[in-house]
Structure 1
């Protein structure tokens, strides 16, 4: 049985951007994530936490926290996008590696604005998907070579890799030696995918996990009205476990049976939210996971 090592992230404190007056201040996030009982976190948007490695390490150490991964968006489906993507990726990868983490979570560009819901790009054609897969494999190879990090690709709602079919296409277009899957249970369910089937069909490609749930009633309304992901989050589409889907105990059980140790980071999208909302949810979620998750470890 593998360990499912649980952590949390700034996202669960309503953080989507490096600097936004609506968000929880970074000091409060660190204080509260530790108070909730977590010992592992992600960096969140680059620039939200201090980017000076010495200062960040000091802040983490005094709260008993460690970093599991950095996160960054990419746009490698676009021609001539390598240099701009690498510039952003390398800054995050450097800080991630300096914190002793081993993973970089890479998220695809969104075809819809994450806040306004405005459609900003057309769907990818076959040529663009093939180019994207080839470029992502090279990105993962270079990240490993230069920073010693494993690249974990994160399918995302309203992004160019979203549905179950598109996830499978991405896995077929990429090399598992250099890039694998950050299985975000909420985004897979949001886009109509099957988390358990992905674990079953691609056990060797599950390299990292984000744990979240979707409220199916809110999702039905969002789909019916054609709303973007940002508005869906405002309406509470990503809900506190165990109120939504997928059912997490079977997912955690399937992950533990992969016989590898995985990081599973709780990410409940809450942007924006009142400052007193995240901590009680984080405490209840950790208690629920520890009670209902085979192989779960803090």
Structure 2
């Protein structure tokens, strides 16, 4: 197993304001410094990073700067996180226009994973047909990811039509896309992250570890999550991919990353599974 960290802690989970009036520009965007995030993540002892789509697209016209940043800090671009409503036919092509731009750039930077969230909740409530529409869109995401040699996975998320356990089961039955379990979002939605990993372990190409307690997202070891058991299930099923730690916001991002890294090293003995890349592309 290899350990990565999401850069969104440096700036928080926000979005690009252009998306209010232009669906094709509706990116996730953390407002902090990606450069500082990469430096801190490397210092904390992780081998790779995951970026929001909007933060990745900031390097579209200056790719060498991003390449140099990764090389200088010995980091791998593990993946990029994107998303869409996916249920409204009239805007679907603009949503996929954005996702394809993101996938193309991520592939150019040798990323491995394309992670998507979404499935909008209508003002009038969820329609039964929304699950079919989401499933069709996720299958299309999987095809697009394959075009760019990326591994696609769906990330269940609070505030979408896939936040509860029964909702996740339903969408997993309707689509063949992989699952990226965000352990905290699963628990916050009323699910059991350990049971979810056990149930779908053969469909998991990528994992997000995030702790949860008292209604808040927390560094690993400070909440309710049984990461020891989750890691054991993954190991027993020969999982050798990335585990990316995520913490949407924290007063001291570097310290939050260090807390989680120390927990993984000391409590789960994951250090022996981590492979620090010795150069770009490994």
Tell me, yes or no, whether TM beats 0.5.
Answer: yes
* Map of 2:169 onto structure 1: 168
Q: CA deviation at 1:150?
A: 1.4
Are 1:199 and 2:197 matched, yes or no? yes
Residues in 2 aligned to 1:280 and 1:81: alpha-carbon distance in whole angstroms: 40
Residues in 1 aligned to 2:118 and 2:130: alpha-carbon distance in whole angstroms: 13
Residues in 2 aligned to 1:79 and 1:28: alpha-carbon distance in whole angstroms: 39
- Pairing partner for 1:125 from 124, 127, 133: 127
Cα distance 1:64–1:26, how it changes in 2: closer, same or farther (>3 A)?
same
Paired residues, number: 260
- Pairing partner for 1:278 from 212, 229, 253: 253
* Map of 1:261 onto structure 2: 240
Are 1:246 and 2:225 matched, yes or no? yes
Residues in 2 aligned to 1:122 and 1:257: alpha-carbon distance in whole angstroms: 44
- 5 Å-filtered alignment, 1:1-298, equals 4-17=1-14, 23-47=31-55, 50-51=59-60, 52-111=62-121, 121-144=123-146, 146-175=147-176, 179-215=177-213, 217=214, 219=215, 237-270=216-249, 273-274=250-251, 277-293=252-268, 295=270, 296-298=273-275
Q: CA deviation at 1:171?
A: 0.5
Q: CA deviation at 1:202?
A: 1.8
RMSD: 2.2
Q: CA deviation at 1:50?
A: 2.5
SS at match of 2:59: coil
Runs of 5+ unmatched residues, structure 2: 18-28, 276-282
Q: CA deviation at 1:33?
A: 1.2
Cα distance 1:129–1:19, how it changes in 2: closer, same or farther (>3 A)?
closer
CA contact (8 A) 1:10 1:43 kept: yes
Q: CA deviation at 1:241?
A: 2.0
Cα distance 1:142–1:246, how it changes in 2: closer, same or farther (>3 A)?
same
SS at match of 1:83: helix
TM-score normalized with structure 2 length: 0.85
TM-score normalized with structure 1 length: 0.81
Q: CA deviation at 1:19?
A: 6.8
Deviations 1:150-190 (A, max 9, x none): 11100001112111111110100002xxx110110010011
Q: CA deviation at 1:87?
A: 1.1
Q: Which moved more, 1:88-97 or 1:5-14?
A: 5-14
SS at match of 1:85: helix
Residues in 2 aligned to 1:31 and 1:147: alpha-carbon distance in whole angstroms: 28
Residues in 1 aligned to 2:124 and 2:247: alpha-carbon distance in whole angstroms: 28
Runs of 5+ unmatched residues, structure 1: 112-119, 220-236
SS at match of 1:202: helix
CA contact (8 A) 2:12 2:32 kept: yes
